């Protein structure tokens, strides 16, 4: 199985979730072994995707440095991951990836428009060899060995429309598109009001998030899935795991995880070389078939 990039350049304009300002984004193809590069055209700075590039995980996943960064990359990266794209340049003229409708489906449509180009070198992946866990205040995320790619997530909110939800995704591009990509980010009205008082979430609206008060959903169209909340958590987790720089063969599982917990998990994975192996497809035929099914 070979590395991938996009077949042609594509662009889109959207609103930054926190700044509320328009952002122009261009996706450009790159050659073998280039990886994913974010480029701030307004600053002339390139930022490679990687665990070591993360600078903030409080409200979104942010990469770069304290001077120049890119925020809210997780929804775009969940789409890029699910399309099996290894090499890509993301050009932005501002500090945020456009929020679109709060899900990943807009990015998936953009990637469909761009098309996929297969490159010459073989795809590399991370094989999880030992269980790795990061836990904090009863919340956790872990990576476990498996012969396929799976994501499991459980949430528990003290809200009548959420409560306890669990979802398991047997990962593939097809499953991502049908089960996960349309799930929107969500928040509570009192949190939105607080964030705006801090000069954040200025671009947030009912057009790009599910918003709840104490009893009900404020969006007039309602939910896209009954369990849209936990599905979006899986969407975020896929985007956060993409920062490892490789696809992984294993099982991600979390209870009440967050961008912070996901980042700490990936850092912990790389602390011990016994936890993982970076391999080039093909290594084992069963794993090649698993990847071919996932990214077909």
Q: Which active-site residues does the annotation give? A: 259
Order of strands, edge to edge, in the sheet holding 10-15?
10-15, 22-29, 88-92, 36-40, 45-48
> Could you give the angle at the alpha carbon of 12 between the alpha carbons of 240 and 8, nearest 5°?
85
- Strand pairing partners for 211? 187
Answer left, alpha or beta for residue 162, where phi above 0 means left and psi between -120 and 50 means alpha: alpha
What is the 8-class DSSP label of residue 217? B
Residue located via tokens 């099914």:
293
The CA–CA distances, whole Å, from 41 to 10, 22, 69, 260 equal: 16, 14, 12, 27
Name residues whose C-beta falls within 8 Å of residue 59's C-beta, 6 or more positions apart in sequence.
18, 195, 200, 259
Q: 75 with 235: CB under 8 angstroms? A: yes
The three-class DSSP label of residue 107 is helix
Residue with structure tokens 């084992």?
A: 284
Residues paired with residue 170 on neighbouring β-strands, in sequence order: 150
Q: Which residues contact 94 (CB under 8 A, 6 or more apart)?
A: 16, 19, 21, 22, 23, 24, 40, 42
């Amino acid at each position: 199985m070979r590395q991938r990039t996009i077949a042609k350049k594509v662009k889109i304009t959207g609103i930054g979730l926190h700044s509320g300002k328009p952002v122009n984004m261009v996706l450009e193809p790159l050659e073998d072994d280039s990886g994913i590069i974010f480029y701030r055209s307004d600053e002339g700075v390139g930022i490679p995707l990687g665990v070591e590039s993360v600078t903030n995980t409080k409200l979104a996943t942010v990469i770069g440095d304290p001077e120049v960064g890119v925020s809210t990359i997780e929804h775009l990266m969940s789409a890029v991951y699910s399309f099996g794209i290894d090499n890509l340049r993301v050009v932005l003229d501002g500090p945020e990836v456009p929020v679109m409708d709060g899900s990943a489906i807009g990015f998936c449509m953009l990637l469909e428009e761009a098309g996929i180009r297969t490159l010459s070198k073989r795809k590399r992946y991370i094989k999880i060899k030992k269980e790795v866990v990061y836990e904090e205040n009863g919340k956790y995320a872990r990576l476990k060995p498996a012969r396929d790619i799976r994501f499991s997530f459980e949430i528990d909110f003290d809200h009548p429309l959420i409560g306890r939800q669990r979802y398991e995704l047997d990962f593939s591009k097809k499953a991502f598109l049908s089960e996960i990509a349309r799930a929107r980010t969500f928040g509570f009205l009192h949190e939105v009001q607080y964030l705006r008082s801090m000069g954040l979430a200025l671009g947030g609206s009912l057009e790009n998030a599910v918003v709840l008060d104490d009893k009900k959903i404020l969006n007039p169209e309602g939910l896209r899935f009954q369990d849209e909340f936990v599905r979006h958590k899986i969407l975020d987790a896929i985007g956060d795991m993409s920062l490892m720089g490789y696809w992984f063969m294993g099982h991600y599982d979390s209870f009440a995880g967050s961008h912070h917990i996901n980042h700490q998990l990936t850092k912990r994975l790389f602390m011990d070389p016994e936890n993982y192996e970076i391999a080039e497809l093909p290594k084992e035929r069963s794993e090649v078939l698993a990847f071919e099914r996932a990214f077909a």
